[in-house]
Structure 1
Amino acid sequence: MILGIESSCDESALALFDPEKGLVGEWIHSQISQHAEYGGIVPDIAVRQHLNQFFPLLDEMRKYNDINGTISEIAVTCGPGLIGSLGVGLSIAKTLGEIWRVPVVGVNHLRGHAYSPFMALGSHALPWTTILPHLGLLVSGGNTLLFEICTDRKINIIGRTMDDAVGEALDKGAKLLGFPYPGAAALEKCATDGNPKAFSFPRAFQSKGAHDFSFSGLKTSLLYQLQKMSQEEIVQCRQDLCSSYQEAAVDQLTKKCMRFLSQKDYKSFGLSGGVANNDVLRDRLKQTCVNQKVRFLAAEKKYTGDNAAMIAYVAHHDRNGLWSNHEGGLNFNPSLSLDEVPCTDRLI
């Protein structure tokens, strides 16, 4: 079995993955309540929480499973993420590797997200010929990436946000509208009964040749709109404001994906990352894929956020994207890119 360890930001997570049976178990501690009063992630608090929670999680895992002699490899997130958080996970992985005498490999957190839509296809060999080439959209609080996985499994980044990630824009928009952190889910719920055309918010980079995304202008536009309104008007129009704001974000993402799906013969499309929880985005992209006759894959909602299951899963299926711990030399890289792979002499 592969033990996955995830600690890139504010989730402490473990997972056991059996290549034959699939996911055996997972254990996770979320820090949302510890960071909520600050309106965002506080790195020092995140590190302390990781240090406090990982050992109880390990105890829970050992009570649930007889892991003696069954773990053959430890896969740990080595980037990108918060420096201190990554360091905690890596230190634990190396220590366990020494104790259990099993190899430790580093996993690119973003590649975990990129592969998470494939998890529903099962644990055995993936049907590469039916899903590649693949167009993927990774949307979260820290990333907005449009990428492709080619038939040789190489990942190419097609477009990325030039400023705020879409998840950050949704959370900040929610905060402006009076919702507590993290507010994207509350904004989506409020938007359900609103009119998405009630307010006009900008969609950036809509020209035919534009590959990238931008959401800072959307957030600023909402701020200016709210400054024109009284508090009473904001309360009365909150549903319409939420719906229109969400529509602008979803529309920018969907139109960009639609354009690239029509330009190349992709066999599948995958949606991943925390914002993949948004039902409006999921439904819109699913319909886009139906129209383009492309297979739609989306990460299960329980795997859209940071989790160790995807780390263990991608360690099994993406061997050329792993970093070796040869002679204990594995280190973390807080700015690791989705398309970055180890040098040839560091491949597993």
Structure 2
Amino acid sequence: MLKLLALDRFTILLIVMVLLASFLPVSGVAATVFSVITSAAIAILFFLHGAKLSREAVVQGITHWKFHVVVFTFTFALFPVLGLIAKPILLPLLGKELYWGFLFMCFLPSTVQSSIAFTSVAKGNVASAVCSASFSNIIGMFITPILVSFFILGQSKHGFDPTASILQITLLLLVPFILGQILRPYVYPYMLKLPSLVKAFDQGTILMVVYGAFSSAVVAGLWNVLSGKTLLILTLACSIFLTIIMLLAFYIPKWLGFNKADQVAIFFCSSKKTLASGVPMAQILFIGQPLGMIVLPIMIFHQIQLMVCGVIANHWSKQSETELE
């Protein structure tokens, strides 16, 4: 039956994480501890990616400017434009606060850890994904507040200091990655002997992110703030929006002539929005506004994108393995 439904173990585990978070969300002190553990797992994951990639691959990733232009255009141009175009449809259906939240989601940078992890699982260009996801989050600390101030608040009334976020990204991503590069001669031989362990760590990190993020949404009142009808409309809007973006992210890199590894990385880096950076930014940018309503769209969109990307990444991974046989 599972084969007929095209479900594998990883997909089932993703569904289990969502169900577990819905009925047994981690909260309070436990959520703090879980967040620390997840951060440690992310740091280790970046360390492994640093150790796995050759210096030549890293240099190629940094200098792959066409790749980064495409991802940047999707994240900070195409997403916002589509969100603004959808205003006549979404505003009457969702109301002002929820539409603000939907538009805020469109202005956010891409995810970091899940973009890289999904790219790795799907055998994509991890070096370029690392550089692109990092750049997206750093530049997003400046671009997102400007877009919010111009298109949502009209005029920014509160300052925004990106220093802490930049420091956090640097410590969580770049430092472990650089350490992995430095220690690559000692670590990489062991990684070659344990490829299944590295893959399991990639997928395990994604499962932790899914559970932690969905728990936060549930604890914040995901199932209580809105009626079932409005929640269904919002979920459908997020699903349709993600479908449109993913179709564009799938075909445009092909039309532009990128190779398969780049196409995979562009797909995952271009189609996602960050919840981890989105909620803190919302708390700063929307002081005095209904924060729960504003962050709800990114909470729902984030869960949908992780579920869909998990299935796609695993499918492409199996497809890649089959092609090599």
TM-score (norm 1): 0.27
TM-score (norm 2): 0.28
Higher RCO (CA-CA < 8 Å; seq separation 6+): 2
Greater helix proportion: 2
Higher Rg: 1
